[in-house]
Amino acid sequence: MGAQELAINGGTPVRIAPMPSSGDASGRDIGDEELANLTQVVRSGRLFRHGGTFVERFEREFAALHGVAHAMACTSGTAAIHLAVAAVNPDPGDEIITSPITDMGSVAPILLQNAVPIFADLDPETYTLDPESVRRKVSDRTRAIIPVHLFGNPTDMDGLGEIASKHGLAVVEDCCQAYLAEYKGRLVGTIGDMGCFSLQQSKHITAGDGGITITNRDDLAERARLFSDKGWPRTGEVRDYLFLGLNYRMNELSGAVACAQLGKVEKAIAGRRRVAGLLTERLRALLEIQPPVVRDGCKHSYWYYPITLRDGALRVSPREFAAAVSAEGIPASAGYIGRPIYMSPALREKRTYGRSHCPYDCPAYGKPLEYREEDCPVTLDILRRLILLPCNEMFTEKEVDDMAQAIAKVVDCYRA
Residues 345, 351 contacting (CB under 8 angstroms): yes
d(CA 128, CA 147): 7
pLDDT at residue 125 greater than cutoff 70: yes
Q: How are strands ordered across the β-sheet holding 186-187?
A: 186-187, 182-183, 298-299
Domain housing 323: 7-28+265-336+380-414
Query: Is 349 part of any domain?
Result: no
Query: Is 369 part of any domain?
Result: no
Q: Is 380 left (phi over 0), alpha (psi -120 to 50) or beta?
A: alpha
Helices (H) and strands (E) in the chain, counts: 13, 14
Domain's final residue, options 263, 292, 324: 263
Across the strands, what pairs with 320?
A: none
Q: What share of the chain in percent tops pLDDT 70?
A: 98
Domain's final residue, options 242, 263, 284: 263
pLDDT at residue 22 greater than cutoff 70: no
pLDDT of residue 366: 92
In the predicted model, what is the mean pLDDT of residues 372-398? 97
Query: Is 231 part of any domain?
Result: yes
Query: Is 367 part of any domain?
Result: no
Query: Is 373 part of any domain?
Result: no
Q: What is the pTM of this model?
A: 0.96
Q: For 31-65, give one letter per residue: b (16+ CB within 10 A) or e.
A: eebbeebbeebeeeebeebeebbbbbbbbeebbeb
pLDDT of residue 26: 60
Half-sphere exposure of 239 (CA within 13 A, CB side): 2
pLDDT tens track for 30-70? 999 999 999 999 999 999 999 999 999 999 999 999 999 99
| Same domain for 173 and 66 | yes
| Same domain for 16 and 115 | no
pLDDT of residue 24: 39
- Low-confidence winner among 187-196, 231-240, 248-257, 293-302 (lowest mean pLDDT): 231-240
CATH number of the domain residue 197 falls in: 3.40.640.10
Query: What one-character DSSP code corresponds to residue 198?
Result: E
pLDDT at residue 257 greater than cutoff 60: yes
pLDDT at residue 23 greater than cutoff 80: no
User: Positive or negative, the Cα torsion across 49, 53, 58, 64?
Assistant: positive
Tell me the one-letter amino acid at 167. Answer: H
Residues 270, 393 contacting (CB under 8 angstroms): yes
| Same domain for 307 and 198 | no
pLDDT of residue 25: 47
Total tally of structural domains belonging to the chain: 2
Q: What share of the chain in percent tops pLDDT 90?
A: 96
| Same domain for 18 and 155 | no
pLDDT at residue 416 greater than cutoff 90: no
pLDDT of residue 2: 57
Per-state percent for the chain, helix, strand, coil, to nearest 5: 40, 15, 45
pLDDT at residue 240 greater than cutoff 50: yes
- Contacts with 42 (C-beta within 8 Å, 6 or more apart), sequence order: 253
d(CA 260, CA 150): 25
Residues 127, 382 contacting (CB under 8 angstroms): yes
| Same domain for 180 and 70 | yes
User: Positive or negative, the Cα torsion across 47, 48, 51, 54?
Assistant: positive
Omega prior to 131 cis, within 30 of 0: no
d(CA 5, CA 176): 39
pLDDT tens track for 314-363? 999 999 999 999 999 999 999 999 999 999 999 999 999 999 999 999 99
CATH number of the domain residue 320 falls in: 3.90.1150.10
Query: Is 2 part of any domain?
Result: no
Tell me the one-letter amino acid at 66. Answer: H
In the predicted model, what is the mean pLDDT of residues 378-397? 97
Domain's final residue, options 263, 286, 309: 263
d(CA 285, CA 123): 24
Confidence band of 20 (pLDDT split at 50, 70, 90): confident
pLDDT tens track for 191-210? 999 999 999 999 999 999 99
d(CA 19, CA 27): 9
pLDDT of residue 1: 42
Query: Is 191 part of any domain?
Result: yes
| Same domain for 227 and 161 | yes
Query: What one-character DSSP code corresponds to residue 136?
Result: H
* Angle of helix 397-414 versus helix 265-283 axis, rounded to 10: 40
| Same domain for 212 and 275 | no
In 3D space, the residue among 197, 180, 181, 165 whose CA is nearest the CA of residue 84 turns out to be 197
pLDDT of residue 367: 94
- Low-confidence winner among 17-26, 42-51, 168-177 (lowest mean pLDDT): 17-26
| Same domain for 155 and 11 | no
d(CA 187, CA 180): 6
For 228-295, the three-class secondary structure string (H helix, E strand, C coil) is CECCCCCCCCCCCCCCCCCECCCCHHHHHHHHHHHCCHHHHHHHHHHHHHHHHHHHCCCCCEECCCCC
3-state secondary structure of 390: strand
pLDDT of residue 21: 66
| Same domain for 254 and 167 | yes
| Same domain for 68 and 173 | yes
Query: Is 59 part of any domain?
Result: yes
Confidence band of 236 (pLDDT split at 50, 70, 90): confident
| Same domain for 12 and 113 | no
| Same domain for 160 and 130 | yes
Task: Sort 381 into a burial class: Cβ within 10 Å, 0-12 / 13-18 / 19+.
Answer: middle
